[in-house]
Amino acid sequence: MRTKSVLAAVAAAGLLITSACSSDSNTGSSTTPPPTSNTSVESSSSEAPGSETAGTTEAVGSETAGSTDAGETTSGGAGSGKPDSEWFVRADYDRQLAQRTATPEGDAATPWLQSIDAELIDTAKFKKEGKQNLCFSNASTGNPWRATGYVTMQSQIKVLQEKGVIGEYFYSDAADKDDQQITDIQKFVADGKCGALIVSPATTATLTPAVQAACDSGIPVIVFDRGVNTDCATTFIHPIGGYAYGADGAEFLVKNLEPGKRVLALRIGPGIDVLENRWAAADEIFAQSELEVVGQEFTGGDGAKIKQIVAQYLEQGDIDGIWMDAGAGALSAIEAFEDAGKDYPVFVGEDEMTFLRKWQSEDLNGVGLAYSNFQWRTAALAVEKIWAGEQIPKEWVLPQVPVSETSERDALIETYKELPDLFYARFGGDDLPAFPAGYMGG
């Protein structure tokens, strides 16, 4: 494989707040974020703050050399057998790729309670009687994937409140700002009102000390979605992971493209572990293929920027495949081909309805990857299990199944035909009170 850059740079402009923002990643703050104004910590007995998309989109980076500013090009292609680095650990890569074919433990009807290769831990020391207060420090609800998940979590929390498990619910949204989320977590701990704390970190390294301090306070801490660089959390909940996601997309392109065909990789930005891992896995697979990766570009999740980048590459030659580390911008990339009068590429999208519907209507050669949005529900249910003193997985690995067959795609489109384009099919909340009205936006 050879990698080259067509774009010397795309100006790192401020990210737009658009309906076409990225999926499971908000363009997050970097590991050294600018100061930000305080975000209030809200108390709620049942109602959720607005679930519409807001804020910026999330960021990922590369383990390869190059700039990490949104919109700039990095040089990829470390080659087969790349050494371990900050964002590529071969043992983790091999484990995740193997877990894709593992049979999850638990009832397939409730995948949000299933687990893979679980090491169970005792939570008896956290057992509590009666209602307990729950706190949640959220990176943001700043993109459709996160907005979908938060509606699901809020609905599950409401069920647990009605069940007498949760008392007051305290919520903070850091708007993708590391320093704000650190302040939010510190306030939760200092107030002493949390019977448990859920954290979905904005970025990995910068949030680690705050999460460690919360663990040290003695309350159970549940980390989900993105990780931190400490294993102090009572449980860390996530789908199989970024390596599996990135590999699924890269393998699809290798299988469906002839040797020598040209692939463009579209990424969000730097510094989020799961997103860095996605590209690291794809880069490893592409390096062992005969495909030509013509560039990997940071887009900031901005639909207009995605269109601009794809259009500029198309001016230089055909693009036969598109790999994306988060699929909510897929429609913008597809529209760039339409605007240029070019044939559609083989496309790696996501389980967002926008892409599924476009895939169907245009009969694309595509795949809808999934980063199991139902993990937002798992986080709330983990709290119930911890307060009951039940055993739970220390690392709670959830199944992660792409939408790869057109028959399943069509069934999902039919099942969720009334849901908006920005809805994610692998959300796991059909039986919750919020469904379907809570996912309609407005």
* Domain at 139, CATH number: 3.40.50.2300
Mean pLDDT, residues 394-412: 98
Any domain includes 223 = yes
Tell me, what's the pLDDT at 94? 98
Distance CA 352, CA 363 (A): 16
Distance CA 38, CA 84 (A): 38
Residue that has been written with the tokens 């390869």 in this structure: 64
Confidence of residue 294 (pLDDT cuts 50, 70, 90): very high
> Bridge-partner residues for 424, per DSSP?
352
Nearest to 437 by CA among 112, 19, 48: 48
Mean pLDDT, residues 363-391: 98
The yes-or-no verdict on residue 306 having pLDDT over 50 is yes
Any domain includes 167 = yes
| Distance from the Cα of residue 102 to its chain's centroid | 21
CB neighbours (10 Å) of residue 178?
26
Mean pLDDT, residues 170-182: 97
Distance CA 411, CA 102 (A): 24
The yes-or-no verdict on residue 410 having pLDDT over 50 is yes
Structural domain range at position 139: 105-240+376-399+432-439
Instruction: With beta carbons less than 8 A apart as the criterion, state whether 147 and 24 touch.
Output: no
The CB-based long-range contact list for 426-431 (8 Å cut-off, 24+ gap) reads 426/351, 426/370, 426/372, 426/373, 426/374, 426/401, 427/148, 427/149, 427/152, 427/373, 427/374, 428/111, 428/112, 428/152, 428/372, 428/373, 428/374, 428/377, 429/151, 429/152, 429/155, 429/156, 429/374, 429/377
Distance CA 286, CA 293 (A): 7
- The pTM (predicted TM-score) of the whole model is 0.82
Biggest CA–CA distance in the chain, Å, is: 66
Any domain includes 152 = yes
Tell me, what's the pLDDT at 30? 29
Mean pLDDT, residues 427-440: 97
Secondary structure (H, E, C), 37-69:
CCCCEEEECCCCCCCCCCCCCECCCCCCCECCC
| Distance from the Cα of residue 242 to its chain's centroid | 9
Any domain includes 52 = no
Residues in CB range of 98: below 8 A, 6 or more apart: none
Distance CA 25, CA 200 (A): 11
Give the count of domains, the chain.
Answer: 1
CB neighbours (10 Å) of residue 106?
15
Tell me, what's the pLDDT at 11? 28
Mean pLDDT, residues 298-316: 95
* Backbone CA torsion sign across 124, 126, 131, 135: negative
Confidence of residue 258 (pLDDT cuts 50, 70, 90): very high
Distance CA 120, CA 394 (A): 6
Distance CA 372, CA 425 (A): 9
Instruction: With beta carbons less than 8 A apart as the criterion, state whether 226 and 85 touch.
Output: no
Confidence of residue 442 (pLDDT cuts 50, 70, 90): low
Mean pLDDT, residues 354-379: 98
Distance CA 381, CA 152 (A): 12
Pair of tokens at residue 340: 């240029």
Confidence of residue 115 (pLDDT cuts 50, 70, 90): very high
The yes-or-no verdict on residue 291 having pLDDT over 90 is yes
Any domain includes 371 = no
Confidence of residue 300 (pLDDT cuts 50, 70, 90): confident
Average pLDDT of the chain?
Answer: 85
pLDDT in tens, 321-348: 999 999 888 999 999 999 999 999 999 9
Tell me, what's the pLDDT at 301? 87
Tell me, what's the pLDDT at 40? 35
Any domain includes 190 = yes
Tell me, what's the pLDDT at 18? 31
Any domain includes 136 = yes
pLDDT in tens, 19-56: 333 334 443 332 222 222 333 333 333 333 233 333 33
* Cα-based distances in Å from 187 to 172, 184, 193, 195, 442: 10, 5, 10, 14, 31
Tell me, what's the pLDDT at 237? 98
Q: What are phi and psi of 270, to 5 degrees?
A: -95, 155
pLDDT in tens, 47-106: 332 333 333 323 322 333 233 333 333 333 334 578 899 999 999 999 999 999 999 999
What percent of the chain lies above the pLDDT cut of 90? 78
Distance CA 296, CA 299 (A): 10
Q: What are phi and psi of 316, to 5 degrees?
A: -90, -10
Mean pLDDT, residues 149-169: 98
- In three-state secondary structure terms, 219 is coil
Distance CA 93, CA 77 (A): 16
Any domain includes 119 = yes
Mean pLDDT, residues 253-270: 96
Secondary structure (H, E, C), 152-209:
HHHHHHHHHHHCCCEEEEEEEECCCCHHHHHHHHHHHHHHCCCCEEEEECCCCCCCHH
Confidence of residue 403 (pLDDT cuts 50, 70, 90): very high
Distance CA 417, CA 419 (A): 6
CB neighbours (10 Å) of residue 415?
11
Tell me, what's the pLDDT at 441? 79
